[in-house]
Amino acid sequence: MGNAATREHIVDAADQLFYRHGYEHTTFSDIADVVQISRGNFYYHFRSKDEILDAVIKTRLKQTQELLEQWEADAEQPADRIRSFIHMWFANRADIALYGCPVGTLTTELAKLDHTSQRDATALFTLYRSWLRRQFTLLGRGADADALAMHLLAMSQGVAAVANAFRDEDFIAHEVTKMCEWLSSYTDDAERGTPDTDESHNRS
């Protein structure tokens, strides 16, 4: 079977290094320095560097899924759930100013490398997209729920990219406020609303 703890250490270290320095730029030596194992020992746990990337993406997918479920459990109002998404950018603004968005930068890099794991990385985006779409649908925005989800994804991605370029975490704080205001305009709409779905959203 193998030591699950060591494997987990490798994946965690690789996850951070891929985020901070990119997948291609990260070497086995870099990871070995963090995990404190020899380069040769990687191959007991993984057959190749690509397999480590696979494991990293799988871990991220699982963690993201759990995060989204948490947000859904923590708030009954879809607007509040979406605010959890927006607030995430504020909470992580220091890292984002230094390294960008983990999802966006990995996806962009794999696209340029024409890497086989490209689709798996995009699935991370799809997870957020579907979840946001569901929340907007619950807000009575069935017809344009996907467009709103995509728009919010784009806004947050853009904020991360520009904040990273200018190393400006205050810009993230500023734009998070604007995203919340943007969301409020749709929340208010829902109150006097024109729901596109038959399902009534409870207790709103």
Task: Kindly report each contact of residues 182-185 with a partner whose C-beta sits within 8 Å and lies 24 or more positions away, as own/partner.
Answer: 182/155, 183/79, 183/82, 183/83, 183/86, 183/152, 184/79
Place of tokens 């990871």: 31
Note whether 170 binds a copy of itself by CB under 8 A. Answer: no
How far is residue 54's CA from residue 56's CA, in Å, rounded to a whole number?
Answer: 5
Length of the chain: 204
The distance of closest approach from Cβ of residue 114 to DNA in the complex, given in angstroms and rounded to an integer, is 14
The answer to whether 22 contacts a copy of itself (rule: CB under 8 A) is yes
Using rule CB under 8 A, residue 187 touches a copy of itself: no
161 binding a copy of itself? (CB under 8 A): yes
Task: Kindly calculate the radius of gyration of the chain based on its CA atoms and give it in whole angstroms.
Answer: 19
Q: Choose from DNA, a copy of itself, none: what does 41 bind? Cβ within 5-8 Å by kind.
A: DNA
Task: Considering only the stretches 36-44, 56-64, 116-124, 155-163, report the one whose residues sit in contact with DNA under the rule CB under 7 A.
Answer: 36-44
- Give one DSSP letter per residue of 40-70, joined into a string: GGHHHH-SSHHHHHHHHHHHHHHHHHHHHHH
- DSSP annotation of 39 reads G
In the list DNA, a copy of itself, none, the entry touching 122 (Cβ below 5 to 8 angstroms by class) is a copy of itself
Q: Does 17 bind DNA (CB under 7 A)?
A: no
Q: Does 21 bind DNA (CB under 7 A)?
A: no
Q: Which of 37, 101, 106, 179 binds DNA (CB under 7 A)?
A: 37
Q: Which residues of the shown chain bind DNA in the complex (CB under 7 A)?
A: 1-3, 6, 26-29, 36-45, 47-50
